[in-house]
Amino acid sequence: MSVGRFITFEGGEGAGKSTQVRRLAERLREARAGRVVLTTREPGGAPGAEEIRGLLINGDASRWDAMSEALLHFAARREHLVRTIWPALAQGQWVVCDRFADSSLAYQGYGQGLGREAIAALYALAVGDFRPDLTLILDLPVEEGLRRAGKREGGLDRYERMDGAFHHRLRRAFLDVAQQEPERCRLIDAAAGEDLVAARVWEAVAGHFGLYP
């Protein structure tokens, strides 16, 4: 049985992750007929994790303190791994995920001030040694990202309603991750048009996994 691969997308609000997850999955399926590609998201991706998602993205911006919020995210992540991601990888599927643990470091570690050590401890407990094979970080100026997010149907969610300083801390966190883990992470300029971003994403993925003809 072929070995599965785990690809994650990260970035601030409005960076276009959901669109690029969909487009990459389509391209991966086209690149090799018969390849099974699963798309998923965090928080969510499994029944219990989706229930926790509602607690996290709805309500007042100050609904949770940093540790409570991080614990909820890692509880959802554990369910996601056990119920969805690990079984799919074991079957040789490629899994493309909209957010993973780098978002916990950015949102709770940097954004909410919990710090790296606390996030690392929760990661070790809930996830262990498992890591994405490749992480694509979509980078976008904060103001543009929030402008894009504000145009989506359904209004702003709990995180999108947090103040500008919070979102600037998120961007710095993702840039730090990209700099500190260049073997795993690829930084993609998300300010370009959707097609150009998709082309850059594919170039990064194809190069990393040797998918060129």
Instruction: Count up the domains in the chain and report the number.
Output: 1
Closest CA to 138 of 3, 13, 7: 13
pLDDT of residue 164: 84
Rg (CA), the chain: 16
pLDDT of residue 1: 47
Q: Note the pTM of the prediction, 2 decimals.
A: 0.94
What secondary structure does DSSP assign to 104-158, as a single string?
HIIIIIIISS--HHHHHHHHHHHTTT---SEEEEEE--HHHHHHHHHTSTT---T
Phi first, then psi, for residue 139 (nearest 5°) are -105, 135
Contacts of 32 (CB under 8 A, 6+ apart): 211
Quick one: tokens of 27?
Answer: 């391209």
CATH of the domain at 166: 3.40.50.300
Domain span holding position 41: 5-209
pLDDT digits (tens, 9 = 90+) for 117-159: 999 999 999 999 999 999 999 999 988 888 887 777 666 778 8
